[in-house]
Structure 1
Amino acid sequence: MKSSALFTRTAVGALAFGLSTAAFAETWRYAHEEFEGDVQDVYAVAFKEYIEANSEHTLEIYRFGELGESDDIMEQAQSGILEFVNQSPGFSGAWLPPAQIFFVPYLLPTDEQTVLEFFDESKAINEMFPELYAEHDLELLNMYPEGEMVVTADEPITSPEDLNNKKIRVMTNPLLSETYDAFGASPTPLPWGEVYGGLQTGVIDGQENPIFWIESGGLYEVSPNLTFTGHGWFVTASMANQDFFNGLSDSDQEVVREAADVAYDHTMEHIQGLADESLEKIREDSDEVTVTRLTDEQLEAFKAQAPQVEQAYLEMTGEDGEALLEQFKADLEAVQSD
């Protein structure tokens, strides 16, 4: 009798626990700026798989265009409609000016391993940026690089003079406009959804993106002259709505943090060699594509314009920007001296 009663109480308790767990299981929403299989999607899928394997929660992923453009999904994340969002500082720089640091040309090196090590170890990235995003009600999970920026245009580019009066599409980022002004071009802000058509019709003469995105989006079809200027990397950030994150249990916060770490590590492995693979696909698909890698002498002509952009960054960002830039350079020096 005792054992029967104990069994009944145990069974009821187990059922109640199961119902309680189910009651707290939630569906979270994660939106990013890219297509299926692209770098941000690789991160999001790894994040989702860890969340679902280590909690009762599920994660829905929304890719480019499904909930609007990049600005749209950020608004939805800040208002709490989305729990998670991935957005490049190319867009967030307008409301988080210090994030424009990634558009100071020639600040980051072109060597992939050095850049990966920098993002792993940088105090500016891992300690200062979370505080800046928190001021905008966002919990920064990771900042990570996606690939070196490549310029595509209607003709090969070998000098700033070649960019004179060319309409180069830029993200809605004041400092990126300063960069292309300094390079001699006419920076033209344009939503991503209008870029392919703009290149096709001549509304714009060129644009910049990492090579995998140029391949994925078919930009080489309408802008076939690729130039490796070495001026920067495409960087992005994964974050959570801060009220949502702060309202999670300690165990759920830990799962989210662990999922972000796993997704980051997986994505950093994924991007290694990705640029070469993407360029090979482009060359196999099109005989019209030209690839220009600037000589040291040609690079110097572009690098000579960088100090004025750095000064513009400092003027835009004040003390926060100055402190971030100082730490950024110290972190780079530490990595490069190893």
Structure 2
Amino acid sequence: IKMASEDIEGDFMTTWGQKFSDEMKTWSDGKIDITVYPYGSLGDIRDINELCQYGVVGSVFSDYGWISSFVPEAQVLALHYLWPKKRAPEVLAWVMKNGKFLNILEKSFRRVGLVPLGVMWEDWMWITSKKPVYKMEDLNGVKLRLMSSKLLVEQWKAYGATPTPMSYGEIYGGLQMGLIDAQMNPIFADYSMKFFEVTDYFIKTYAEAYLGIPTVNQVLFDSLPKNAQEKMRQFWSEANLSSAKWIEEKNNSDMEKIKKERPEIEFTTFNDQEIEKMRKIAVPNYSNFSKIGGKDAQLIMDTLIKDVSDAKKALGI
């Protein structure tokens, strides 16, 4: 089985894709042999999602933004201020294990020939900008590169930014040539893709988490024995918290490397007042999802919001 990763070698999706491969190979005595292909090996991000849909590759590890071109319902994971500021990985792990969301989302994936195995926490998204951003109003007119998602575009427009969807591989050049002023990614991507070399300000708003979706071609998945299907789902469910700890440590390490290589970069975290200001704009705009989020948008959104609420209650948050 070929598994196409959205990340380069050493980053989250490729590393955890390899752990998945090792686990499945050991469990099956070599009968299930998954080869992980890092970003760029089999094409750009949109390409690899399409290859999985058509069965050219058996599996893809992508995010909610790019896979939404095929499964618009996946954009629900991009709703701003959905996840709590504290203990968010625990909330996601609870939702994946105990909630109803993933089962409903799977129906949408299956309509286009795909099966999601889980949703994985890859930490908060950071804006990296060539212009200073200390408060929401500083986003006015900022040409901000986003993943290809209608929902993301509408959300960032609401704060005053000028959203600019762009391929992952074009970001560095886009910043260098002034086609964009800023971009959004987790810290590990900002370091591994060298975006810190062409931006001077890092801003954490707690608006959006970066979440990965390990996915399998439906025909391939349904052809596997039931115990193999269950093992695949089990791996990602059990990996939620350990992978979240792994990526937190990596992001902290990569941030220190960025600070060492470019000590002049400013790191800013929005305070509670700015977060609340953005939240008051974001939540009413959830209604956009019901219009652009596909056939089961409202059901999927309502289910996820309830699952997150139930998770917070269960965890005492």
How does the TM-score come out when normalised to structure 1? 0.85
1:15 alignment counterpart? none
Report the alpha carbon displacement of residue 32 of structure 1 after superposing the two structures with TM: 0.9
Partner of residue 60 from structure 1, selected from 35, 59, 65: 35
Question: Which letter does structure 2 place at the counterpart of 1:88?
Answer: D
1:334 alignment counterpart? 310
1:69 alignment counterpart? 44
Aligned CA distance change for structure 1 residues 95 and 140 (closer, same or farther; 3 Å): same
Question: Which letter does structure 2 place at the counterpart of 1:143?
Answer: V
Report the alpha carbon displacement of residue 62 of structure 1 after superposing the two structures with TM: 0.7
The answer to whether the 8 Å contact 2:151/2:289 transfers is yes
1:102 alignment counterpart? 77
| 1:43 has 2:16 as partner | yes
| 1:183 has 2:159 as partner | yes
| 1:277 has 2:250 as partner | no
Q: Secondary structure at the match of 2:131?
A: coil
1:111 alignment counterpart? 86
* Identity over aligned pairs, percent: 28
Report the alpha carbon displacement of residue 238 of structure 1 after superposing the two structures with TM: 0.6
Report the alpha carbon displacement of residue 261 of structure 1 after superposing the two structures with TM: 4.5
Aligned CA distance change for structure 1 residues 285 and 141 (closer, same or farther; 3 Å): same
Q: Alpha-carbon deviations, 1:80-113, whole Å to 9, x = none?
A: 1111111111112233222111222111122244
| 1:243 has 2:219 as partner | yes
Report the alpha carbon displacement of residue 166 of structure 1 after superposing the two structures with TM: 1.3
* Distance in 2 (alpha carbons) for counterparts of 1:298 and 1:251: 48
Question: Which letter does structure 1 place at the counterpart of 2:20?
Answer: F
Aligned CA distance change for structure 1 residues 307 and 260 (closer, same or farther; 3 Å): closer
| 1:144 has 2:120 as partner | yes
* Distance in 2 (alpha carbons) for counterparts of 1:156 and 1:176: 21
Partner of residue 196 from structure 2, selected from 198, 220, 223: 220
1:23 alignment counterpart? none
Q: Secondary structure at the match of 2:70?
A: coil
1:170 alignment counterpart? 146
1:160 alignment counterpart? 136
* Distance in 2 (alpha carbons) for counterparts of 1:150 and 1:327: 27
Aligned CA distance change for structure 1 residues 268 and 125 (closer, same or farther; 3 Å): farther
Tell me, which stretches of 5 or more residues in structure 1 are unaligned? Answer: 1-27
Q: How many residues align?
A: 311
* Distance in 2 (alpha carbons) for counterparts of 1:94 and 1:259: 26
Alignment RMSD (CA, Å): 2.0
Aligned CA distance change for structure 1 residues 136 and 318 (closer, same or farther; 3 Å): closer
* Distance in 2 (alpha carbons) for counterparts of 1:300 and 1:263: 32
Report the alpha carbon displacement of residue 277 of structure 1 after superposing the two structures with TM: 2.5
Partner of residue 54 from structure 2, selected from 79, 83, 91: 79
Whichever of the two has the greater Rg, that structure is 1
The answer to whether the 8 Å contact 1:175/1:309 transfers is no
Indicate the larger mover: 51-60 or 111-120. Answer: 111-120
Q: Secondary structure at the match of 1:229?
A: strand
Report the alpha carbon displacement of residue 122 of structure 1 after superposing the two structures with TM: 5.0
Aligned CA distance change for structure 1 residues 63 and 332 (closer, same or farther; 3 Å): same
Aligned CA distance change for structure 1 residues 250 and 327 (closer, same or farther; 3 Å): closer
Report the alpha carbon displacement of residue 47 of structure 1 after superposing the two structures with TM: 0.8
Aligned CA distance change for structure 1 residues 336 and 31 (closer, same or farther; 3 Å): same
The answer to whether the 8 Å contact 1:30/1:83 transfers is yes
Report the alpha carbon displacement of residue 259 of structure 1 after superposing the two structures with TM: 4.4
Tell me, which stretches of 5 or more residues in structure 2 are unaligned? Answer: none
Indicate the larger mover: 248-257 or 187-196. Answer: 248-257
Question: Which letter does structure 1 place at the counterpart of 2:14?
Answer: D
